[in-house]
Chain A
Amino acid sequence: MSTPSFILVVTVAVLYSGGFYLLLQRSLMRVVFGILMLGHAANMSLLLTDEAITLPPLLGGASGEMSDPLPHAMALTAIVITFGVTTFLLALAYRVWLGDENDEVPDDVEDRRIRRLTEPEDSS
């Protein structure tokens, strides 16, 4: 069989890089989108493991050849998990937004406190 299509490989690469880029943003909404994209990337790379991915699994095509069903099963499970967690993440992001009217990740309070320890004590 042919190797996985070039387009699939490029898609996975774009999804990973875009996902990590979004993950590093300050807005929680973008972080959630980043996680979503990364989830898709991981699922698609699961599908990339099979060379005959264009064929149907289990039942086979006209020639009786079939693709490996295991990556499909694993991707399905992973999709279920990502689905559940994403809804939870959305609810959380919403909660954060509800409390603060913005969804930016704030500076860590404790970090700020420790940074203050290193500054000369003229303000206190």
Chain B
Amino acid sequence: MPVNGSRPDTPADGPTGTGPPEGWEAPRERWLSTVVRPAFGPRSVLLEVVARLLIPAILTFSVFLLVSGHDRPGGGFAGGLVASMAYVLRYVAGGRHELAAGLPLRPNTLLAVGMLLACGTAGAPLLVGAPVLDAVQYKFTLPVFGEVKLLSALIFETGVFLIVVGLVLSVVAALGARMEAEEQEAREERAGRRPRGGATAGGGGA
């Protein structure tokens, strides 16, 4: 793949000719799943390789935190934060499209599903006359894992997990990609001295 990482508006650091050429650290192989346009600066082979290697591990760890959360440190919130860090890493290394490629659902949908899960679990005990947030637990033995304790609170925690991931991703989407586009727009507007109609929610393609 040709070197295409350098962005037109990247400021030239130092006089030309003295430093290494622009985009020298861009990888030649494909490490991430889309055409990469990083969020900040030029492409970096180090970042992409590390992202590729680390993301599965981070996601696995986040699930571990989620399930171990009931009586040990962890839980939905911590797990969700860790999982969203994986996606933030992916965004930093690969840009907006890379982030979108890695997501099964849109951030808002994630939020909604998470809220449904959490509130559904919180409200479900009401149907049988128990107070809100009441929890049930089942214990059973699985061949490999030994004794397993399954709590209805886990569903609640999964909801929290999804809410956190959805929230962080919408923050990344709103503060990262869309703002870049808006900033560009506003700058052009000011340059063109058009009358300002107020910086409304525009966004769209970068």
Q: Which residues of A contact B (CB under 8 A)?
A: 76, 80, 84, 87, 90-91, 94-95, 98-99, 101
Query: In the docked arrangement, what's the CA distance between A52 and B82, Å?
Result: 29
Partner of A91 from the list B77, B167, B175, B190 (CB cut-off 8 Å) is B175
Contact B190 A101 (CB under 8 A): yes
Contact A98 B183 (CB under 8 A): yes
Contact A87 B190 (CB under 8 A): no
Query: In the docked arrangement, what's the CA distance between A80 and B198, Å?
Result: 32
Query: In the docked arrangement, what's the CA distance between A47 and B190, Å?
Result: 48
In B158-206, which residues have CB < 8 Å from any A CB? 167, 171, 174-175, 179, 182-183, 186, 190, 196, 198-199
Q: Knowing A95-B199, A101-B190 are in contact, say whether A84-B179 is a contact too (CB < 8 A).
A: no
In the complex, what residues of B have CB within 8 A of residue A76's CB? 77
Partner of A98 from the list B167, B171, B174, B199 (CB cut-off 8 Å) is B199
Query: In the docked arrangement, what's the CA distance between A117 and B198, Å?
Result: 28
Query: In the docked arrangement, what's the CA distance between A116 and B111, Å?
Result: 49
Contact A94 B175 (CB under 8 A): yes
Could you jot down 17 A-B contacts, CB within 8 Å? A76-B77, A80-B77, A84-B167, A87-B171, A90-B175, A91-B174, A91-B175, A91-B179, A95-B199, A98-B182, A98-B183, A98-B186, A98-B199, A99-B186, A99-B196, A99-B198, A101-B190
Query: In the docked arrangement, what's the CA distance between A76 and B77, Å?
Result: 10
Query: In the docked arrangement, what's the CA distance between A29 and B77, Å?
Result: 28
Q: Which residues of B contact A (CB under 8 A)?
A: 77, 167, 171, 174-175, 179, 182-183, 186, 190, 196, 198-199
In the complex, what residues of A have CB within 8 A of residue B199's CB? 95, 98-99
In the complex, what residues of B have CB within 8 A of residue A84's CB? 167
Query: In the docked arrangement, what's the CA distance between A90 and B176, Å?
Result: 12
In the complex, what residues of A have CB within 8 A of residue B167's CB? 84
In the complex, what residues of A have CB within 8 A of residue B174's CB? 91
Contact A94 B179 (CB under 8 A): yes
Query: In the docked arrangement, what's the CA distance between A84 and B199, Å?
Result: 23
Query: In the docked arrangement, what's the CA distance between A80 and B75, Å?
Result: 14
Contact B77 A87 (CB under 8 A): no
Q: Knowing A80-B77, A99-B196, A99-B198 are in contact, say whether A87-B175 is a contact too (CB < 8 A).
A: yes
- In angstroms, how far is the closest chain A Cβ from the Cβ of B146? 22
Q: Residue of B at shortest CB range from A96?
A: B199
In the complex, what residues of A have CB within 8 A of residue B77's CB? 76, 80
- In angstroms, how far is the closest chain B Cβ from the Cβ of A83? 9
Q: Residue of B at shortest CB range from A99?
A: B199
Among all A-B residue pairs, the 6 with the closest Cβ atoms: A99-B199, A87-B171, A98-B186, A98-B199, A91-B175, A91-B174
In the complex, what residues of B have CB within 8 A of residue A95's CB? 199
Q: Residue of B at shortest CB range from A87?
A: B171
Query: In the docked arrangement, what's the CA distance between A97 and B131, Å?
Result: 48
- In angstroms, how far is the closest chain A Cβ from the Cβ of B173? 11
A87-B171, A99-B196 given; name 6 further pairs at CB < 8 Å: A76-B77, A80-B77, A87-B175, A94-B179, A98-B186, A98-B199
In the complex, what residues of A have CB within 8 A of residue B198's CB? 99
Q: Residue of B at shortest CB range from A101?
A: B190
